[in-house]
Amino acid sequence: MYQNQVYGKQYTVNHVHLQPEERIVKTADNTDAQLTGVLFVDVRHSSPALDWRQLLTESHDNGGDMRVIVRGIEYTVLTADGLRDDTDKLHHWEIGVI
C-alpha cells in the first residue's frame, strides 16, 4: 500500500515483493541512509500501475514522506527506481525503504 501523508491518498498494490536488504544510498538532500529493504513492483503483474517516481516527487514537493505498508509494517520510501528490460521498456520498480 502506498500512502501520501499530506494528501491522504492511498493505493493498495497487489503482487509485490519486499526483499530485506541493507544498502547505503544517497538521499535527495545528499546524505547517506541505510535501506532496510527493497520493494519490487512488477509492471505486468502488480496492480494498479503507478508511477512510483512521480508519487515520491509529489510527496517530497509537498513536504511529506511517502510511506508503504507491507504485512502491517510501515516503511518510509527513500528511492524509486524504474528498471528497464533489454528492449528499453519498463520492467519493474525497485522501491528503497527504511
- Cβ neighbours of residue 62 under 8 Å, at least 6 residues apart? 4, 6, 7
- Under DSSP, the state recorded for 14 is B
* CA torsion through residues 33, 38, 41, 47, sign: negative
* pTM metric for this prediction: 0.84
- Residue 73 has a pLDDT of 92
Question: How high does pLDDT run on average in the chain?
Answer: 88
Residues in the chain predicted with pLDDT less than 50, given as ranges, are 2-4, 6
- Residue 4 has a pLDDT of 46
Question: What are the pLDDT digits (tens) for 23-46?
Answer: 898 877 788 999 999 999 999 999
CA 68 to the chain's CA centroid: 7
